[in-house]
Structure 1
Amino acid sequence: MTNADIWQLSATELTKLTRTGDLSAEAAVQASIDRMKAVNPSLNAVVVDLSGEALERARALDKARESGAASGPLHGVPVTIKINIDQKGHATSNGVTALKDLIAPADAPVVENLHRAGAVVIGRTNTPEFSFRADTDNPLHGRTYNPWGRHISPGGSSGGAGSAVMGGIGALAHGNDIGGSLRFPAAANGAVTVKPGLGRVPAWNPSQTAERGLLAQLMSVQGLITRSAEDLHLSMPSLIAADPRDPFHVPMPWRGEALEGLIKVAFTKNTHGYDLHPEVEAALDFARDALTDAGYHVEEVEPPNVFDAGRTGYRALMGEIYALMKGDVDAAGSQTVRDIFTVYFQEFPPFSGDELLQMMAKRTHYARQWSLFMEDYPLVLSPFLPQPFFAPDRDTEGAEGVHEVLGCAVYSYAMNFLGLPAASVPARLAQLPKGAQPVNIQIAARRWREDLAVDACAAIEARAGHMCLPLWAKMAADGE
């Protein structure tokens, strides 16, 4: 098996070989490193190359397996870590020049969990300043590019992660999501992800000197971006392992109890006043048909008002950010990100004072509505964005740009405010005037039932295929 064959293997395929010794962890890691060196110069997805220590770790894993030690479920799987999460000995820069020397004293829980499972970190991926854009560019590490072409943003804030994994750099990519930062890059690059629900994945940065705001704690989650739903089922059980440093972690198994009868899926095309692009509508219809043929009961029905919940939640988050984070953005951010935040505050007028407290309390009202609805409909199939993914720097183009990038993404940040799982999977490869690009849809699930959302992704993927395959063919044809 050549390096060209190995780097294309999914994490599931890799572990079938590495755990038996048919393929060494070193060979698996070396193949991904070679792929990284070949394509990363044009993508700038990985901004900290950890090849040396990755190979050392891979060799140590091989020696341990040969000596009879049990192999972890992710033995030898090459992964990347986003630069806003602590990895011992490396800077948690968060895309901010002023933080370029903030060296992590210890690993964050997600890094520890991946290491414990046998994964090997080959690099750290790019994020926008403060991890608070749906695009990925910063003065410290520069712009990340989408492997489908420079006509599409790579998404954000886990844009480096999405670009890396779809470009073939590692089989798994760590990311996080406070308003869509796993799902935006998945949608931009044609990857698969699930934003876990509240409390599912332990989170904490040992380098932090103060606790995050309450809404940031309630809305932000850690996760993985992959090339297949199958790889989420393989890897997420390791990621959700408990860690006492997160006192609000929910220690539940990945797989919940099987549901009786056909699983009912609420299907909506409602974009709440935003224009629904024909390619997005076609992707939704494709996903509906795939789920129906796979044995789901798909019914066109409106879930509780996602627009009201989403806009309320994001205005509340902006209130907290204005109070707790604006000073840091003004002091350490570039003019570009300061200008974007100014427009954020116009698009989502921040709640403050008593009204902020009231809207934070109202979160339970919205969550209760959705919990009751999901007693009947455990899954909700909806758009993620109403339009195909936007161009790079669209959010720098004033109010209209921010509105297109983030204002219309109510299905995204509503799920963060509600604390519900939400998966993203490609359902169509659109042929648009500027070139081909994937179109993802979203599947929300009952609280703590990420597994149901990923199962539905797998059913759609079984018909749509893995989007990485036409992408890699395109990259090869383009000489990448």
Structure 2
Amino acid sequence: MNMTISEILSNIQSGKQTAEAVTRACLAKIAELNPTINALVEVWAEDALKQAQAVDAKKARGEKLGALAGVPVAIKDNILYKGHKATCCSKMLADYVAPYNATVVEHLLAADAVIIGRANMDEFAMGSSNQTSVYGPVHNPVDTTRVPGGSSGGSAAAVACGMVPVALGTDTGGSVRQPAAFCGVVGMKPGYGRISRYGIIAFASSADQVGVLANNVDDCATVLEVISGKDMNDSTSLEAPVPDYKAAFTADLKGVRVGLPKGFLDGLAPVIKKQVEAAAKQLEAQGATLVEIEVPHAKYAAPCYYIITSAEASSNLGRYDGIRYGYAAKEAHGLNDYYELSRAPFGLEVKKRIIIGTYALTSARYEECFVKAMKVRELLRRDFKKAFEQVDVILTPTSPTTAFKLGAHDENPLSLYLADLYTCQGNIGGLGGISVPFGKDENGLPIGVQFYAPILKEEVALNVAHHLEKAL
């Protein structure tokens, strides 16, 4: 049984454990398991122990401890931590050292958390399997022949096998929630703007959002509260008070309306369909009201998502030209040759998405592709707005499948893109979403179910997820 945040905080506060002892235990677990799982690409053992010792010294002086005092945290390799590498698991940023802290890192440090290392990920967060990393694939701790999901697969795997009690990831189309489902942990992406994106290396700016991976909903709520809030360095962060998420947990679900989108379970694998239906019945047994709703444009979410995010990636990744950022070619003949050689380190998946995005933004295809996708996005957002007039949360599968074999979709990338079928809707719609483990398939692989909540209403999804978790 992996230690929870509340257990760590209680042990440190009572003197049962020191923060240093907790950190050393995590470092020992990393040393034991990481060579097989490959969840972390770099461990900052010396820094982590200094931070833990500082927490112990603070306690010895009788000072008030932060909300995450002594809790080891892993951060995804696209989150800046001053003086430490942040490479997006790409050759393009192999030697990049962060010159400042991401806002979420500042919040972690202010809460006395212990940042222990950077987690493996799909290159530039583009992928649903964590197989595109320059450091090699992450292996699912439940079955090491399978993927952990992506792109925050390293963060999910590190939590699932007890290397750390919590990790930060980023979610652009499901990159926190899908690996959470595959690895059997809790993963939450709040609504767009709840958490600052300052210091996050961009993939698609209108969809990127930092998220939390943890062993349970309670821990997820604790960390989400710490890292949320308005940030003057990010104009897209929202000016809204951050609630006490755990205080919003209710005694039961009486009065809570759970939306079941019509047609969402059609064609789904029987074992996953069965678990989603069982989750709905469990919520009903706890007092919730089940309401059938319609989200008619949801079927267009995946193509809409890939056009918009690829277009934004094409723009965001244009800065890696060998002059401003990234790898610089040593020998080139002329400017065009220099650009071509300097951009060669990008992996195949990243190149594919840049090409898709560049095509969608050409003058010949702009109206047909990008503008049309943006219009569909608005229609989908209207669908969700209308749905949330009838319900408080929406229940869906997290992923259409459980964790698949490493390399299973190498010959058919379109099938891999469909792994985001249920999760990318939340990013296109700007919604908060949480995946909770609920049962297993015939191979013993975890199944995740997902709850969506309106923007800035994460506490509603957390509360329902908390009750479903308790039912297990």
Same fold (TM over 0.5): yes
Contact 1:266 1:300 in 2 (8 A): yes
- 1:106: which partner in 2? 100
Alignment partners' CA distance in 2, 1:349 and 1:19? 56
Code of the aligned partner of 1:266: G
Contact 2:310 2:353 in 1 (8 A): no
Structure 1 residues 318-397: aligned runs within 5 Å: 318-322=310-314, 324-325=316-317, 331-333=343-345, 336-337=348-349, 341=353, 345=356, 350=360, 352-355=365-368, 356-397=370-411
The Cα offsets for residues 204-235 of structure 1, whole Å up to 9 and x where unpaired, read as 128x6xxx58xx22211001101101111222
Alignment partners' CA distance in 2, 1:75 and 1:321? 36
**RMSD of aligned alpha carbons:** 2.7
Contact 1:268 1:382 in 2 (8 A): yes
Q: Please tell me whether residue 450 in structure 1 is matched to residue 458 in structure 2.
A: yes
Contact 2:126 2:350 in 1 (8 A): no
- 2:277: which partner in 1? 285
Code of the aligned partner of 2:242: P
Cα drift, residue 64 of structure 1: 1.1
Contact 2:90 2:133 in 1 (8 A): yes
Distance 1:152 1:192, change over 3 A: same
Q: Please tell me whether residue 264 in structure 1 is matched to residue 252 in structure 2.
A: no
Distance 1:138 1:353, change over 3 A: closer
Code of the aligned partner of 2:397: P
- 2:324: which partner in 1? none
Alignment partners' CA distance in 1, 2:319 and 2:70? 42
- 2:228: which partner in 1? 240
Contact 1:135 1:393 in 2 (8 A): no
Alignment partners' CA distance in 2, 1:115 and 1:384? 31
Cα drift, residue 333 of structure 1: 4.1
- 1:254: which partner in 2? 243
Structure 1 residues 217-236: aligned runs within 5 Å: 217-236=205-224
Code of the aligned partner of 2:259: A
Cα drift, residue 134 of structure 1: 0.7
Task: Calculate percent identity across the aligned residue pairs.
Answer: 27
- 1:136: which partner in 2? 130
Cα drift, residue 108 of structure 1: 0.4
Distance 1:244 1:322, change over 3 A: closer
The Cα offsets for residues 97-143 of structure 1, whole Å up to 9 and x where unpaired, read as 13111100111011111111111011111012111011113463222
Code of the aligned partner of 1:31: A
- 1:306: which partner in 2? 298
Contact 1:78 1:170 in 2 (8 A): yes
Code of the aligned partner of 1:379: V
The Cα offsets for residues 282-301 of structure 1, whole Å up to 9 and x where unpaired, read as 21022112211222112333
Cα drift, residue 437 of structure 1: 0.5
TM-score (norm 2): 0.86
1:159 to 153, 158, 175: 153
Cα drift, residue 388 of structure 1: 2.2
Distance 1:358 1:270, change over 3 A: closer
State the secondary structure of the residue aligned to 1:385: coil
Q: Please tell me whether residue 183 in structure 1 is matched to residue 177 in structure 2.
A: yes
Alignment partners' CA distance in 2, 1:60 and 1:365? 51
Q: Please tell me whether residue 431 in structure 1 is matched to residue 431 in structure 2.
A: no
- 1:52: which partner in 2? 46
Bigger mean CA offset, 293-302 vs 117-126: 293-302
The Cα offsets for residues 50-92 of structure 1, whole Å up to 9 and x where unpaired, read as 1111111101111112112111111111110111110111111
Distance 1:285 1:255, change over 3 A: same
- 1:422: which partner in 2? 433
- 1:407: which partner in 2? 418
Alignment partners' CA distance in 2, 1:198 and 1:263? 23
Cα drift, residue 439 of structure 1: 0.7
Distance 1:324 1:48, change over 3 A: closer
Alignment partners' CA distance in 1, 2:467 and 2:8? 22
Q: Please tell me whether residue 199 in structure 1 is matched to residue 211 in structure 2.
A: no
Contact 1:390 1:405 in 2 (8 A): no
Code of the aligned partner of 1:317: T
Contact 2:42 2:117 in 1 (8 A): yes
Alignment partners' CA distance in 1, 2:420 and 2:262? 13
- 2:327: which partner in 1? none
The Cα offsets for residues 131-157 of structure 1, whole Å up to 9 and x where unpaired, read as 101111346322211101123211111
Distance 1:354 1:305, change over 3 A: closer
Q: Please tell me whether residue 92 in structure 1 is matched to residue 106 in structure 2.
A: no
Contact 1:422 1:445 in 2 (8 A): yes
Contact 2:432 2:457 in 1 (8 A): yes
TM-score (norm 1): 0.85
Bigger mean CA offset, 8-17 vs 348-357: 348-357
Bigger mean CA offset, 243-252 vs 76-85: 243-252
Distance 1:139 1:407, change over 3 A: closer
* Runs of 5+ consecutive residues of structure 1 not aligned to the other structure: 465-480
Cα drift, residue 463 of structure 1: 2.2
Distance 1:307 1:286, change over 3 A: same
Alignment partners' CA distance in 1, 2:410 and 2:366? 29
Contact 2:217 2:465 in 1 (8 A): yes
Bigger mean CA offset, 295-304 vs 80-89: 295-304
Contact 2:173 2:305 in 1 (8 A): no
